[in-house]
Amino acid sequence: MQRHPWIIAAALSIASAPALAAPTVEAIARNCVVCHGPKEAGQVEIPKIANYPARKMVEMLTGFRDGQKEATIMNRISKAFTDEQIQALAAHFAGQ
Amino acid sequence: MPTTRRSLLGTGLAAAATLALPAVARAAGPRVVVVGGGFGGGTAAKYVKKLMPAAEVTLVERDKQFVTCPFSNYVIGGMEKMQTITHGYEKIAKRGVTVVHDEAVGVDPVARKVSLKGGTVLDYDRLVLSPGIDFVWGGLEGYDEAASEIMPHAWKAGPQTLLLRKQLEAMPDGGTVIIVAPANPFRCPPGPYERAGMIAWYLKNNKPKSKILIFDPKETFSKQALFFEAYESLYPGMIQWVGGKQGGKVTKVSPKEMTVEAEFGEEKGDVINVIPPQRAGKIAQVAGVTDEKGWCPIDPRTMESTKVKGIHVVGDACIAGAMPKSGTSANSQARNAAAAIVAMLEGKEPPEPSFANTCYSIVAEGYGFSVTGVYGATPEGIKEIAGGVSKLKAPAKDRDLEAAYAYDWYRGIIYDALG
Ligand SMILES: Cc1cc2nc3c(=O)[nH]c(=O)nc-3n(C[C@H](O)[C@H](O)[C@H](O)COP(=O)(O)OP(=O)(O)OC[C@H]3O[C@@H](n4cnc5c(N)ncnc54)[C@H](O)[C@@H]3O)c2cc1C
């Protein structure tokens, strides 16, 4: 269930970018973890995203990206990602 | 990409040198040496070990403790203490990284050896350099290392941070603080302007008749509109920026007279903070990975030097295209470099990298804003995919939230790099 969208997403993003290989979901996800760290990092305000429900993450990220949800910073960051990458990230963090 | 694919032992001389060693001396796993235990180096060492536990990872760092430049402006402004920005290497050592406190002084890229000041010689299969910056002493007339004891740079955190803080504390009310900003490229593009804000925060509460002058050779700078908006609303009339068009380029400083000579004329200061011209840390030059301007060209897919095979350069020292020289950039480059190194050591194709940067600036307690970007590797270098700065005229609650996020970012990056 959780792995499923990721597999499809990976296939899609490779198919849509033949010239330049797309980064792996792991490579993208490692950037997220700096601010949305594991509990050990001791963050207070920034939401943790390990085990985050996949459906909700897709809703949040696409909402930020498309200007339907207010944000201070994620609106700018999420514009870097395609639907497929957002699906893949959501599946990745949900599976942690 | 077959050119970047390398076997465990590398090729040619490196392989021969390794095999010539007696069997007992042969390392169990591939040897990765990292020089510099800052944001780039700490992260690289930690992630290579994490992704490839069999690797023998050695981190060479000159200092026993890492004092971060991030948040050092808050120490200068009196909002934070040195303790907050000082970190040890115990945690990364516990993860199985061998931490050696010494200075790397030589690199032999053919025999793949790094020599340390204390006499130790380390063999490597892959070398990562993340030495940060060094100053070009004399690059600004009158400004050498001795001058920095009178006109601190505070652009490497530690005693210089405290020196600038003490000078501000000793300054009389009504005094003038001068900040000499550098030309591009330099470490932390928003740093000088965040510093002006934090100094103003201190002065407003303690010495409200004082003034801050920023002399700048540039005509624009990072998050400029946000800084100007903040200066105006928080510290009206206190901070004056003199940019390149108005003759803000400083051509000479005189520590004896406590003056700076700019294109528009001479100015006297009570406290003068000079941020001098910079280049990659010296060891990069020694290793032969710098270009004529003193920075290190790299292949963005692997962060491997385009000048010397087997050496990866991350952080401030490297030429990272659209990415600013920041701790977050160094950290992101290092994670991607670690993944590439591990793949190369396993004889696999390095994965496609994904880079990110976020730099928060806090200019008063509870007043923060940010610049952020997501980047990808292209044949022409690292390019931005998306990003931008915080909204102008944002409500106070957003500025407050971004200041809180800055603290979380700090906790997170310290954990990711050294925890
Ligand atoms: C005032 C200020 C504020 C900043 N604020 C932020 C911020 O809020 N966010 C952000 O992202 N960035 C910020 N930065 C930028 C950030 O500090 C740098 O970009 C970052 O430190 C670069 O990482 P690095 O690994 O390249 O170098 P460093 O972190 O400087 O690490 C280099 C390390 O290498 C060691 N070293 C060098 N040569 C040798 C050698 N030969 N042998 C052994 N050890 C060696 C040094 O001792 C040092 O510990 C700020 C900078 C300044 C000056």
3-class SS at B3?
Answer: helix
Contacts of B116 (CB under 8 A, 6+ apart): B60, B100, B102, B103, B104, B105, B122
* Contact yes or no for B372 and A43 at CB 8 A: no
Total domains in chain A come to: 1
Query: How high is the pLDDT of residue B27?
Result: 52
Q: Nearest C-alpha to atom 46 of ligand 1 is from which residue?
A: B36
Query: How high is the pLDDT of residue A96?
Result: 78
Mean predicted confidence (pLDDT) in B335-349? 98
How many Å apart are CA B74 and CA B168, to the nearest integer?
13
Q: Nearest C-alpha to atom 45 of ligand 1 is from which residue?
A: B36
How many Å apart are CA B9 and CA B159, to the nearest integer?
42
3-class SS at B267?
Answer: strand
As a dihedral over the C-alpha atoms of residue B279, residue B317, residue B79, residue B177, rounded to 10 degrees, the angle is 10
pLDDT at residue B412 tops 60 = yes
How many Å apart are CA B267 and CA B368, to the nearest integer?
31
Q: Which of A24-28, B124-128, B228-232 has the lowest mean pLDDT?
A: A24-28
Contacts of A72 (CB under 8 A, 6+ apart): B370, B390, B394, B398, B401, B402, B405
Mean predicted confidence (pLDDT) in B350-366? 97
pLDDT at residue A12 tops 60 = no
How many Å apart are CA A79 and CA A88, to the nearest integer?
15
Domain membership of residue A9 (yes or no) is no
Q: Which residue of B has its CA nearest to A23?
A: B352
* Contact yes or no for B332 and A31 at CB 8 A: yes
pLDDT at residue B381 tops 50 = yes
Q: Which residues pair with B355 in a beta bridge?
A: B375
Residue range B7-134+278-351 forms a domain whose CATH class is alpha beta
Domain housing A37: 22-94
- Quick check: B258 and B274 in contact, CB under 8 A? no
> What residue spans define the domains of chain B?
7-134+278-351, 140-274
- Quick check: B126 and B136 in contact, CB under 8 A? no
pLDDT at residue B11 tops 60 = no
Sign of CA dihedral B185, B189, B195, B200: positive
Query: How high is the pLDDT of residue B156?
Result: 98
As a dihedral over the C-alpha atoms of residue B78, residue B83, residue B85, residue B90, rounded to 10 degrees, the angle is 180
- pLDDT category at B237 given cuts 50, 70, 90 is very high
Query: How high is the pLDDT of residue B19?
Result: 44
CATH number at residue A75: 1.10.760.10
Nearest to B354 by CA among A15, A26, A11, A59: A26
Mean pLDDT of chain B: 94
| Ligand 1 near B143 CB (within 6 A) | no
Mean predicted confidence (pLDDT) in B342-366? 97
Mean predicted confidence (pLDDT) in A83-88? 96
Secondary structure (H, E, C), A27-89: HHHHHHHHHCCCHHHCCCCCCCCCCCCHHHHHHHHHHHHCCCCCCCCHHHHHCCCCHHHHHHH
pLDDT in tens, B197-221: 999 999 999 999 999 999 999 999 9
Mean pLDDT of chain A: 83
Domain membership of residue A26 (yes or no) is yes
Q: Nearest C-alpha to atom 29 of ligand 1 is from which residue?
A: B38
Q: Which residue of B has its CA nearest to A35?
A: B409
B140-274 — its CATH code?
3.50.50.60
Domain membership of residue A5 (yes or no) is no
pLDDT in tens, B22-54: 444 445 799 999 999 999 999 999 999 999 999
Contacts of B205 (CB under 8 A, 6+ apart): none
pLDDT in tens, B243-274: 999 999 999 999 999 999 999 999 999 999 99
Domain membership of residue A70 (yes or no) is yes
Q: How many CB pairs under 8 A join A and B?
A: 112
- Domain B7-134+278-351 identical in fold to domain B140-274: yes
Atom of ligand 1 nearest to the CA of B73: 1
Residues of B in contact with A23 (CB under 8 A): 351-354, 376
The DSSP 8-state label assigned to residue B24 in this structure reads G
3-class SS at B102?
Answer: coil
Cis ω for the linkage preceding B255 (within 30 of 0): no
Helix (H) or strand (E) holding B240: strand B239-242
| Ligand 1 near B48 CB (within 6 A) | no
| Ligand 1 near B101 CB (within 6 A) | no
pLDDT in tens, B289-334: 999 999 999 999 999 999 999 999 999 999 999 999 999 999 999 9
3-class SS at B281?
Answer: coil
Domain membership of residue A84 (yes or no) is yes
Residue among B387, B390, B412 minimizing CB distance to A37: B412
pLDDT in tens, B51-98: 999 999 999 999 999 999 999 999 999 999 999 999 999 999 999 999
Query: How high is the pLDDT of residue B7?
Result: 31
3-class SS at B336?
Answer: helix
- Quick check: B340 and B3 in contact, CB under 8 A? no
| Ligand 1 near B190 CB (within 6 A) | no
| Ligand 1 near B65 CB (within 6 A) | no
> In the structure encoding, which two tokens stand for residue B327, read together?
């701790």
Query: How high is the pLDDT of residue A15?
Result: 38
pLDDT in tens, A46-76: 999 999 999 999 999 999 999 999 999 999 9
